[in-house]
Amino acid sequence: MANAAAPETVFALSAATPPVADERPTRRVIHGRVLDDPYSWLAAENWREVLSDPATLPDDIAALVRAENAYCEAVLAPLGGLREKLQAELRGRIKEDDSDPPWPDGRFAYFDRYREGGEHVLYCRTPRGGGAEHILFDGDEEAGDTHFFDIGQVDHSPDHAQIAWSVDDKGSEYYSIRTRALEDGEDRPDIVAHTDGSLVWSADSRSFYYVRVDENHRTTQIFRHDVGADPSADVLTVEEPDPAWFVSLHRSRCGRFAIVAIRGHDASECHLIDLRDKDAAPRLVAPREAKLLYDVEPHGDDLYIRANADGAEDFAIFRAPLTSAARADWRPVVPHVRGRLIVIGTVYARHLAWVERENGLPRIVIRDLVSGEDHAIAFDEEAYALRLQPGVEFDTDILRFTYSSMTTPEETYDYDMRARTRVLLKREEIPSGHDPRNYVTRRLFARAADGAEVPVTLLHRADLHLEGGAPTLLYGYGAYGHPLSASFDSHALSLVDRGFVYALAHTRGGTDKGWSWYENGKLERKPNTFSDFIAVARHLIATGYAREGGIVAQGASAGGLLMGVIANEAPELFAGIIAGVPFVDVLNTMMRDDLPLTPPEWEEWGNPIADVAAYDRLAAYSPYDNVAAKSYPAILALAGLTDPRVTYWEPLKWAARLRSAMTGGGPVLLRTNMEAGHAGASGRFERLEEVALEWAFALACAGRAGA
């Protein structure tokens, strides 16, 4: 327990007074339940306008946000030198003039690279056989002095004569698409605004398809834009009227189709747009069915379909005729195995490839489409991460993938699927130096309250002495089926090299142990996510890796919800909590059907408007609504003013309510990025300032601010 008092020593150096938000009580009665909210006024009525123009935030709210930022900086002022040191250290691990291995496509090879000191990517190409580099898109030049500049997509046309590129310059995830002729490097005057940033070129390079974002920031429509034409004349191609479904767009591997995926949290539907015929109507693959999730890849006269059909909870791969892909025509080609989740699949001219994950560990499997023979690519480490990079070409035997572990920097390989050989193309370079032998990664299992075995991945120095437990950073997420990847993170070394254990809690709500692991962490089973994380913390204490009151917990977005819950339920375990863009006002948000993500996410959390049981369930764990008179750990919350996913007012309300109720502990700090949204700063070095802030806070919480 000695660590629990350490933060007070550091944070007490500041005499700053926290801001006090006005209480303007509101009361609603829903399903006969009374809901009081003293800070509802912090949700600006003109939130849509604020996404496009942050300067329109009402003056009284803006003043409070600025006061919170000033208070955060005042309290953390003693850590200024540490933050600068950390930022320089983090930057020292980045190869500034880095580049990716080129992707061949036709007569060119395309690649991304950075210049030394540059914040943004350069999109380049060379002739395929070698020759001079041509910079097609210079992110640094395009960004200029813009405070926020997020590049959504840069894509060359099939005829290699032009590019289309999309950018969000507010952080609100409204992307504008432009096209550029590569002959003279000039952008055309037509700009397609309010898109999600994705696009697919037509086969003749005269038009592209894109996803339009509506006034409630939802993706509901696919349009076709003819290059050079007035965007008001764009042609509506696919429309989804139900706000509970997301619409997305990508190019098929064979290049013949644009694939429109319409997706809810527990079902999906796909349409194919023939890129060779702009007059052809989109073709529905199979109509949506409750609980049926599927995605598709065309291959000649066939479709390969990854789906959970016919009881395949962890997915199987099916094949069907392209011209008749009704459910009755689906035939399994990769069978379902319970507990072995097929994560993603792709198809080449002669091979089928997929990534499957079992008990938290992935592997890549290849099938020869002529012989039907399968083989897997083998790896040796105890915990690791894999990522397919399918590339552009279809008629190839080469599959590109990346491999890393928590000790091994990322390696990029070209794998010959026919010869079964791999070639190392690139190994992530750490300019300041890194020796994997100095570190240890482990996979543990913590027993949850109901007996479930929760995977835990650890990283620490090989020479760390664990007597009495070490300061620990425990990261969690546990939502939407997203697993935590045991990949290399150079940022974590700044904590590990200062004596920390860095741990990932693979809680329910992700698909780390198969689809059932996700299903058992959503809706009425959502509390499993929270109890799993607490069980992991207690297991680390019991096994001597950590000590009670010495753990710093971290999570973002839905992981920020997790942070809010564990702060209420088990504050004694934690020295500090880092909550990034935290989804902490769950009940109120899920009752606002005008917000961008609310209707689509009722399948994840429940609909408290229509369902009293969902209301009671959310009310029981919503962090904002369960703040109580108790001592809380030190808390650092991070927000983005133009965040359309977790609105700025959620952490703002949470901070105000925490301070008004808590009886001790803290401090409660909130920092809002006034020029960014959900993902924070857009530049690769600008992001390091945010990481340095988080790590300095964690070190202070653990009594290691002088390390």
59-84 pLDDT per residue, tens: 999 999 999 999 999 999 999 999 99
160 is catalytic: no
The answer to whether 643 is a known catalytic residue is: yes
> H or E element: which one contains 14?
none
**Residue 189 in tokens:** 């005057």
State pLDDT tens for residues 223-270: 999 999 999 999 999 999 999 999 999 999 999 999 999 998 889 999
Q: How far is CA 607 from the centre of its chain?
A: 24
Backbone angles phi, psi at 534, to 5 degrees: -65, -40
Position 661 in a domain: yes
Could you identify the residue written with the tokens 């088990």?
570
Residue 13 vs residue 42, higher pLDDT: 42
Average pLDDT estimate for 474-491: 97
Confidence of residue 707 (pLDDT cuts 50, 70, 90): confident
Residue 423 lies in a domain: no
Set 98, 196, 414, 643: catalytic member: 643
Domain-embedded: residue 537: yes
Q: Can you say whether residue 673 is alpha, beta or left, with left for phi > 0 and alpha for psi between -120 and 50 degrees?
A: beta
Residue 2 clears pLDDT 70, i.e. is over it: no
Cβ count within 10 A of residue 242: 11
Across the range 7-30, mean pLDDT stands at 84
Cα–Cα dist 496/472, whole Å = 9
Give mean pLDDT, residues 696-703.
96
For residue 614, is it within any domain?
A: yes
Confirm whether 32 is domain-assigned. yes
| Token reading at 331 | 């035939």
Q: Would residue 160 count as lying in a domain?
A: no
Which runs of E-coded beta strand occur in 469-619?
A: 472-476, 501-505, 551-556, 574-580
Residue 144 lies in a domain: no
Closest to 278 (Cα-Cα) out of 234, 217, 214, 314? 234
CA atoms of 577 and 473, how far apart (whole Å): 9
Q: Is the pTM of this model over 0.85?
A: yes
CA 284 vs. chain centroid, Å, equals: 29
The dihedral sign for the CA sequence 486, 489, 491, 497: positive
* Residue 4: band (very low, low, confident or very high) from pLDDT cuts 50, 70, 90: very low
Please name the residues in contact with 474: beta carbons below 8 A apart, sequence gap of 6 or more.
503, 504, 505, 533, 536, 537, 540, 546, 551, 552, 553, 554
Token digits of residue 636 = 């650092």
Share above pLDDT 90 across residues of the chain, in percent, rounded to a whole number: 93
- Phi/psi at 431 (5° precision): -55, -35
Whether 438 is in a domain gets the answer: yes
pLDDT (average), residues 613-627: 98
> Above pLDDT 70, what percent of the chain?
98
Separation in Å, CA 506 to CA 393, 510, 517: 35, 7, 10
Per-residue model confidence as pLDDT tens digits over 266-292: 899 999 999 999 999 999 999 999 999
Other Cβ atoms closer than 10 A to 398? 16
The answer to whether residues 575 and 551 touch, using CB atoms and an 8 Å cutoff, is yes
Of 557, 622, 625, 682, which is the active-site residue?
A: 557
Question: What residues does 357 pair with on adjacent strands?
Answer: 341, 362
How far is Cα 554 from Cα 17, in angstroms, rounded to an integer?
25
Is pLDDT above 70 for 417? yes
In this prediction, residue 3 carries a pLDDT of 36
| CA 91 – CA 95 distance, rounded (Å) | 8
Q: 8 pLDDT exceeds 70?
A: no
The DSSP code sequence of 605-645 is H--TTT-HHHHHHHHHH-TGGG--SSEE-EEEEEEETT-SS
Query: 406 in helix, strand or coil?
Result: coil
Q: What distance in Å separates the CA atoms of residue 348 and residue 344, rounded to the nearest whole number?
A: 14
What mean pLDDT comes out for the span 504-530?
A: 97
Structure confidence at residue 14 as a pLDDT band (50, 70, 90): low
Domain that holds residue 604: 2-92+434-701
Structure confidence at residue 524 (pLDDT): 98
536 has a pLDDT exceeding 70: yes
CATH number for the domain harbouring residue 443: 3.40.50.1820
What's the whole-number average pLDDT of the chain?
A: 95
The domain total for the chain is 1
Mean pLDDT of 668-685: 96
Helix (H) or strand (E) holding 1: none
Let me know if 140 is a catalytic residue: no
- Tell me: pLDDT of 390 over 80: no
Instruction: With beta carbons less than 8 A apart as the criterion, state whether 559 and 645 touch.
Output: no
How far apart CA 60 and CA 46 sit, in angstroms, is 13
Residue 549's pLDDT is 96
